[in-house]
Amino acid sequence: MRAHALFRAGDDARRPPTRRRLFAATLLGLLAALPVAARAQAPEQKSIEIWAVRDPQEAAAIALAKELDYYKAEGLDVTVKWIVSGTDMPSLVASGQINFAGESVTTAAILRDKGIDIRYVMPTANIAGTQCIVLGPNTRLASPKDLEGKKIGMAAGSGVAIAIRNMAKQYGVDYGRLTFVNLQPPDQAPALARGDIDAMAVWQPWALAGMSLGGKLYFTGNRSYIDGTPKPVNWMYLDAGLNVPAAYLKQNPNTVKAVMRALIKAIAYINNNPIEKSAALISKPLNVPEADLVPIMKQNIYSAVVDQTIIEGATELLTYGADPKIGWFGKAFAPKELYDLTLLKQIAPDMVKVSGY
């Protein structure tokens, strides 16, 4: 996974079951209420490729829709093309090879910054819960303030820093006094176990690696364990979604809508069933053991809804990415410049809860 696309552990991090069931019921109701024309228009292209990073953060819905034949039900013959790192996606899209890119809105920003017109047509998940800060086995903190002066392993430019910054604001921690050690995700857990660093800031599944060596989950982008009791927080937003080149979107709207309907069905399945069922289905295509996949998926919020909270989170994410010290792209794009929710409003209007998009 890329540094700019970021990234889960245990039943404690799971969304309240009643909320998940309610959301899933809403999705299923919306699908049932879709006009026949919106559901039945034949795709302009039937054989397509969807490119995605092979991980449960970015690609759970994409993989599940394939396993459950939801694409086929929409008249599509879909091949999922897996890549290892999200950092490769912008260059692949720029080459003209890709018409469907399962990635964050930050990918759209990177490409727009290079003059390539691509549209972010829907989110599929909020994956902030998989952006984790794990304390070392011998790290003892009386309060978050004690993080000052401690060494935190983190890949340079990682979005998980947004969560650390917002946690620091809430607890009065001087962010400037945190010592970050530039370490790639695979190197962090061994360094934590050796005591070379006091904490690691990383996404899943690398956080699980640190915890398996005695590390303790301290907080994520949307859940805090700081006070000993799990509490929901809103310290960052990080999305998974679907990006489509503007020219392809204009020429093949029914194909894009068919893909989107399949993904919405997959999201509903995830939320309306025990996570274990989805994990069993996508463990093989994602190449992640079920035992690891279940806790990772429980930390994600799978949803295609766009509300004001999503827009605010995306705004913060895009502002962070434009910071010259981060350098994902050269300007702070507003979500409105990148989102194109025209088709989402057509097939599932109740999922678009903001005006002007």
- In this predicted structure, what is the pLDDT of residue 20? 53
Q: Which CATH class is domain 11-127+238-351?
A: alpha beta
Residues 6+ apart with CB under 8 A from 214: 136, 137, 193
Tokens of 320: 């962070």
Considering the chain, tell me which residue range(s) the CATH 3.40.190.10 domain(s) occupy. Answer: 11-127+238-351, 129-232
In this structure, are residues 256 and 121 in contact, taking their beta carbons and an 8 Å threshold?
A: yes
pLDDT of res. 312: 97
Contact 34, 354 (CB under 8 A): no
Query: Would you write out the chain's pLDDT as a tens digit for each of its 357 residues?
Result: 444 443 333 333 334 444 555 555 555 555 555 544 345 589 999 999 999 999 888 899 999 999 999 999 999 999 999 998 888 899 999 999 899 999 999 999 999 999 999 999 999 999 999 999 999 999 999 999 999 999 999 999 899 999 999 999 999 999 999 999 999 999 999 999 999 999 999 999 899 999 999 999 999 999 999 998 999 999 999 999 999 999 999 999 999 999 999 999 999 999 999 999 999 999 999 999 999 999 999 999 999 999 999 999 999 999 999 999 999 999 999 999 999 999 999 999 999 999 999
**By three-state DSSP, how is residue 180 classified?**
strand
Which run of H or of E encompasses 65?
A: helix 56-67
What's the rounded Cα separation, in Å, for the pair 89 and 92? 5
pLDDT of residue 22: 52
Backbone angles phi, psi at 138, to 5 degrees: -110, 10
Question: Is 129-232 assigned to CATH 3.40.190.10?
Answer: yes
SS3 169: helix
- Give the pLDDT confidence score for residue 213 in this predicted structure: 96
**Which pTM was predicted?**
0.85
- Residue 70 CA to its chain's centroid (Å): 21
State the pLDDT at residue 84. 84
pLDDT recorded at residue 27 = 57
322, 105 Cβ separation under 8 angstroms? no
